[in-house]
Every structure is written in structure tokens, then in C-alpha cells.
Amino acid sequence: MLKRLYHSYLGREVLEGFDRYKYNCVDTSPLSKYVMHPFWNKTVLLCPTWIAPNLLTLVGFICCVFHYLIPAWYDYNFTASTLNSTNPIPQWSWALVSFLLFASHTLDGIDGKQARRTGTSSPLGELFDHGCDAWAAVFITSTFYSAFGRNDDGLSISEWRMYLALWNVFFCFHLSHWEKYNTGVMYLPWAYDLSMVGGTILYALTSMFGYQAWKIEMPLGFSLGSIFEFCLYLGSMGMAVPVAIRNTYKSYRDGTGKMRPFMEAVRPLVSFLIALVLFMFWATYSPNSILKADPRMFFYASGTLCANLSATLIVSQMSNTRCELINILLVPSAIAVALCLFIPGLPSTSELTILYMLSLVFTGFHIHYGVCVVSEMSTHLNIEPLRIKNSYDKVRLISSKKADTDASDSDDCNDNNDHVAVDVSDLEVCVVASNSGLAGHTAPEKSVNVLQV
């Protein structure tokens, strides 16, 4: 039965592209360099070496989902944090939300370090990590809105403004991978660590002082909700977008990037822009004000669609293959929007049903895509995605001519921010034959052969 559900999304060309993949990353964030990485370097030492890096990534993503679901359970409609609410979210739950976001960020930060520590770095690790990050964007950003609530009290921002802020986040995430698609280098945005640390602090303070702490009118009529909105745009449109455009321009000017023609370079943006137009038309011209009727589901549907668009781009940029022009999920999106906008007198319940069905289709397809891609990659690389294989012959990374610690499968970069490109031919490995294949067994090793490959 499961075999019948399997579908090959990658193909031979993409898999061969992954075989030639080299991780290339630059991280200039002071928060990341001086605070988070030193903390993660200590934290990863607490993790047993039999735990697979991808398992850390998966558990971190699950923590992120639950940090979203807790306030959603108590406050589905984003009304519990409006001033004088009769059913506020329990303050203890905000402490749990804060812890789960912190755990998610930490596990996302140590998965690549665990991979190098256990000698299990692979392209699948980076693909899995960034694929989870793509979907996590909607959960992280939506939970911020739960802390401030709708603008019924005039001390937050409207559903429309929050929806625009969400698309701003989706676009910046997509743009960072579009940048790598054209430059060959992953420039890690500063906003991610800032938002995760800021969210952890925000929810911890909310658990201590209540949501009322954010219901303060600032000078010139601003609210703390609108200041949060401004920070979102400042970190993205003010920083991420100009930096991405500058880096891409420099790669073309200096001839260091992929040097694709203009139409090929912008190809990954086509599906994203079509999705943006479709959902903006739906939100604007909905006969039943769908964005007000169920903002949470509308946010989720949009975020899941964008997650799949970014996931397919990540596959293309890592395998150095041509990105798809039109994503298949745009077909049900266009049908749903057409039904809602062009059926005269469509009742609210029918439009909501279409939204729920579309969300279900997006979720099912995206999970199917993720599972099949991971399975296909695992088979190709002869690894198990969520556990470290035990065998008589274990290969451990000792050193690399180019970088001793930077053959990463996650977001970790070297401290001096130089570009790192590690090739298999440059790796020195130690092949160890062990007496036992049991996980965690510490039997003495039989022989050690150092090879230069």
C-alpha cells in the first residue's frame, strides 16, 4: 500500500546534481556568531552520539508546531489577547510556548554540529533542515499575532496588515534561497535568529505579565503591535532584500555566481508571484471577507503553499538544476479562487469549506512531497534519515584541506565568514572496523586505516 503512494519527485538528473553539491555559506550575524553558536557548541556535547542529526531537526520542527498549536487551541480567532478579553490565553501556556520555541531554535542550531560530530553530514541534512524551516515560517509568525491579537481594541494591527507581514516573511525566506540559486552561496539572514530569540523573550514576558503588557499606546498613536510590524519589515525589506539584491548583483559583476540569463535567473520567482496575486485577489474581493472570517486558516493555507514553493526551489538550488516554472499547487489554488470570486451569492459556509479543503490538499501534498523526497534521497545516498546506520565499517571525518569543521549539512558557517566549499576529494577519512554494530556499543576497535580520497 505504501509503495503505491510513493512518487519520485527528483529523478536522475537531480540526484546526480546532489552528488556534486558543495555547501557554501556566509553568516555575518553578530547574534549568531557571538551568542548562539558558542551556546550551541556547548549544548551539542550533551547530545548522545547515537542520535541522528535529522532526528534533532524533526523534533525541533515538532516543537515549533506545538508552540503554534497551544495558543491556537485557546485562541483560534486571535481574539483572546484583545484588551478586556474575557477568555485570555492562560499565562502558564505562554511559558510553555516560550520553552518550545527556544527548544526548536536550539535543536535547529545543533543539528549540523551533531552531523559533523558523528561524521554523518550529507546533502539530505541541509535539505531536510531548510525544508522544515520553510514550513515553520507560518507557525512562528502566526504565533506572534496571538500575543497581540486582532485590532478590535485599536492597540494591535488588523488581519490585513498581519497577512501582508506574513507574505513579507514568506518572500524573504524564498528570496534567500533564490539568492543561493543564482550566487551558489547561502547568505544567512540576520532576521531568523533575532525573531527566534525575540519570540522566546516575548512569550516569557507574556507568561509573567500577561498580554496586557503589550496593550500600551505609544507616542504618535503607535501601539506595540505596530512596532512589532515595523520591525518585521525593517528586518526583511529594509535589510534582507537589499542585501540579497546586492549579493546577486556582485556575483554577476564578478562572474562568481551561476551566471544564468535573466529569464532563467528569475524563473524561481514566477510561481511565488502567481501565488501572491491569487491569494491577494481572494483576500481583497472575497464576497464573505474570508480573511476576517477565518484568518488563522487563511494564514496557514498561504504559508503551506509558500513552504512547498520554497522546498522545490531548495531542491533546485542544491542540485544545480533548472527550477520548475509553475508549481502544481497553483492549479487547485486558481480553482479555489475562481469558485469563490465568480460564483454569485456564494454563502460564507461554502467559501470556508473551499478554504478548508484547499488547506487539506496543501497539507497532504506537502507532506507527501517531503516524505517521498527524503525517501528518494536516503535510498540514493544509502543512509537512513532518522537514525545513524550501524555497521562494521564506519567512516569518520578527520579533516578537510579546505575546512576542518565546515562540511555542514545545516546553517553553521565558519567564524571568519569565508566561503566554504568542501569536496569529497579533499576529505581525509578514518575507516574503522568495530567489533559490534550495536548502537552505543563501546567495544574496542579492530583496525584503523587512514585513507586520503
pLDDT in single tens digits along all 453 residues of the chain: 667 788 899 999 999 999 999 888 888 889 999 999 999 999 999 999 999 999 999 999 999 999 999 999 999 999 999 888 889 999 999 999 999 999 999 999 999 999 999 999 999 999 999 999 999 999 999 999 999 999 888 889 999 999 999 999 999 999 999 999 999 998 888 888 999 999 999 999 999 999 999 988 888 778 888 888 888 888 778 788 888 999 999 999 999 999 999 999 999 999 999 999 999 999 999 999 999 999 999 999 999 999 999 999 999 999 999 999 999 999 999 999 999 999 999 999 999 999 999 999 999 999 999 999 999 999 999 999 999 876 444 444 444 444 444 444 555 664 444 444 444 334 444 444 443 333 333 333 433 343 333
CB hemisphere CA count around 106 (13 angstroms): 17
Q: Are 140 and 196 in contact (CB under 8 A)?
A: yes
CB count within 10 Å of CB 103 equals: 18
153, burial (CB in 10 Å: exposed 0-12, middle 13-18, buried 19+): middle
Fold classification of 2-381 (topology level)? Four Helix Bundle (Hemerythrin (Met), subunit A) (1.20.120)
What DSSP letter does each residue of 436-447 carry, written as one string?
--STT--PPEEE
H or E segment and range at residue 135: helix 123-148
Fill in the amino acid letter for 358: L
C-alpha triplet 49, 135, 113: angle, nearest 5°: 20
- Outline which parts of the chain fall under CATH 1.20.120.1760: 2-381
Helix (H) or strand (E) holding 48: none
pTM of the model: 0.86
Rounded distance, CA 123 to CA 130, Å? 11
Q: How far apart are CA 451 and CA 205, in angstroms?
A: 54
Taking the C-alpha atoms of residue 158 and residue 403, their distance in angstroms, rounded to an integer, is: 49
